[in-house]
Structures are given as structure tokens and as C-alpha cells.
Amino acid sequence: MIIDTHSHLNMDEFKEDLFDVLKRAKEHDVNRILVIGMDEPSNHRAIALAHENEMLYATVGVHPGYVDHATTHHLKDLLKKDKVVAIGECGLDFYWETNNKELQIKVFQEQIQLALETGLPLVIHTRNSFEEAYQCLLPYQGKVTGVFHCFSSDLQDAKRAIQLGFMIGIDGPVTFKNNKLLHELVRDIDLSNILVETDSPYLTPHPYRGKRNEPGYVRFVVEKIAEIKEMTVEEVIEITTQNAIHLFKLGGNTR
């Protein structure tokens, strides 16, 4: 069983063929999928999908790209819902927007506080912002946990994230031939610190690069990790699945 720990099946790209997408996921041995919220409407949609489909779980949060028109006020109630297993996607993005850094940090800190209060893990987005996100989390080392989703920084930063108590999310770009930095990172950190993701419909792995991504394609991420680390695919599936079950408490009854 493979767990895709980051998908956006709550987006319009999957509105017409979600049933077929889930069927193909099962055919690729993907039996659990986290559907990630980014603002109030997508949070509600993630929860609705999780309640409609046994293999789906939801996260709820405010993505840094949405902070100008979304607040965290609605999250406390949603975090009490069945099958909500994490807070996020949250974090900082200084690639697309640099004029609202203070607001991004404020909204991120509010969600860190929610993680502290609820014990739920954080699903963190960073782009051109690892250092700032790291500094936000540092006072809470050992008190909050989660994953740096779609990790795009270097090996040294990955080790710092792991020291904070966080997992490293690996996505489709690991399958790209020239992504030497990510290949080195995957080779040099222990598999016990890695989660596999798709970020569907984005970041489609080779050989489907350029097309819509979907959870079934997480298998290509697993296969590439196995190749880099000189392990069997089965070993990578076993360890990354257990990582996800442990972090998001997916075994047996959830909350």
C-alpha cells in the first residue's frame, strides 16, 4: 500500500473524473490519499471528499498564496471534523509574493499555534522562504511536527528540518533527470524521514511530465527513490507508508 500524502483532488481539475482517478490510484497500489485544503472553500471540499470516500483523508489550512483574502478563523471548528488529520497547507511563499511577508508570517504563526493546541501535524509550503519558516518553527522544536511538503531547498536545510522534528515530502521533480540537488538529498537522508507525494494536479513525474498529475503517479516517485537509495520498491513503500501512518495517525481509528 502506498499513501499519497499530498493531493489537491478538491480542485476543479478532478471534478469530471474523480471516480476514474481513484480507480487508477488503486491499480497502482495507492490506497490512501490526503486531500489538502488551502482556503475555506477548498477546506470544506476536502472534508466532504474524505467523508464520501473511504480512502481519502483531509487537511485544512490557509495557504500563503491565499492570505490576502482568507483568515484562519474558520479552522478551529473544521479541525474537530472526522478524518481531518493535519493543518495546512500553510507556510510561506516569497517567490510569487513579497509585498505581504508580515501577513504571511502572521497567518503561518496562527496555524503553528493551532498545531500546538491540537497536536495535529503541519503541512508546510515553503518557496524562497525556508529560512523564515524555519525561524518561525524553531521556538516550537519538539512541540509541533509535520512535513515540509515538496521540499525544494538543499540537503543542509533538509537536515535542519529533520532536527526540528519534521518529515521531508518528495514529489515528481525527483524523477527529473537533471535534478541532481534533489537526488543528492534523497540519497543522503534516511528514508525514515521521507514522505511520498504527488501535489496533484501539479508536478507530474516522468514519464507523464507536462500532463495532469494524479495520485496513482506517486508510484513513479517511489520507484525513483528506490533507484537512488539502491533499495527495493517494496522497502520504500513499507517505510514511507509507515512514516505517513505514524505522522498522520492513519492506522485504525482516526481521532
Which residues of the chain form beta strands (DSSP E)? 2-7, 30-36, 56-60, 84-93, 122-127, 146-148, 166-170, 194-196
Q: What is the pLDDT of residues 160-216, one digit of tens each?
A: 999 999 999 999 999 999 999 999 999 999 999 999 999 999 999 999 999 999 999
Task: Find the distance separating the first CA and the last CA of the chain, reported in whole Å.
Answer: 22
Quote the mean pLDDT of the chain. Answer: 96
So what's the pLDDT on residue 19? 97
The C-alpha atoms of residue 254 and residue 248 are separated, in whole angstroms, by: 9
pLDDT of residue 184: 96
- Confidence at 254, pLDDT banded by 50, 70, 90: very low
Confirm whether 254 is domain-assigned.
no
Q: Please report, for the domain that includes residue 156, its CATH number.
A: 3.20.20.140
Number of structural domains in the chain: 1
The answer to whether residue 253 scores a pLDDT higher than 90 is: no
Which amino acid belongs to residue 75?
L
pLDDT of residue 252: 42
- Given a cut of 90, whether residue 255 has pLDDT beyond it is no
* Digit-coded pLDDT (tens) for 89-114: 999 999 988 899 999 999 999 999 99
The domain of 150 spans 2-248
* pLDDT tens string 19-41: 999 999 999 999 999 999 999 99
Rounded-to-integer distance, Cα 234 and Cα 98, Å: 42
| 255 is a domain residue | no
| C-alpha distances out from residue 245 to 129, 206, 253, Å | 28, 26, 11
Instruction: Provide the grid cell at 63.
Output: 495557504
Short-list 136, 208, 129, CA closest to 176 = 208
How confident is the model over 124-173, as pLDDT tens digits?
Answer: 999 999 999 999 999 999 999 999 999 999 999 999 999 999 999 999 99
Higher pLDDT, 95 or 251: 95
